[in-house]
Amino acid sequence: MLESQNLLAGGMLITTMIGLRMTDDGDRDPNAAELLTAAFPAKLDLMRSLTELERELKRETEA
């Protein structure tokens, strides 16, 4: 039971951080950087590159 709760909680946290675009603020906000580093210890660069790609695609479709 505890493993499934941790999995769901982690997934919800990740979804919330991406939805709030915390990867955009990670360089400017020390609290965001701390949370991102804790949530993605080995994959933070990957998360930043994916959200940057999403922003680029959105700009292209809006233009």
Length of the chain counted residue by residue: 63
Q: How many domains does the chain have?
A: 1
Mean pLDDT of the chain: 83
Q: pLDDT tens-digit profile of 22-35?
A: 888 777 889 888 88
Find how far residue 35's CA is from the centre of its chain. Answer: 9
Enclosing domain of residue 36: 2-62
Q: What is the pLDDT of residue 14?
A: 83
Contact yes or no for 51/24 (Cβ under 8 A)? yes
pLDDT(7) > 80: yes
- CB count within 10 Å of CB 8 equals 10
pLDDT(48) > 80: no
Q: What is the pLDDT of residue 55?
A: 78
Q: What is the pLDDT of residue 43?
A: 80
pTM for this prediction: 0.59
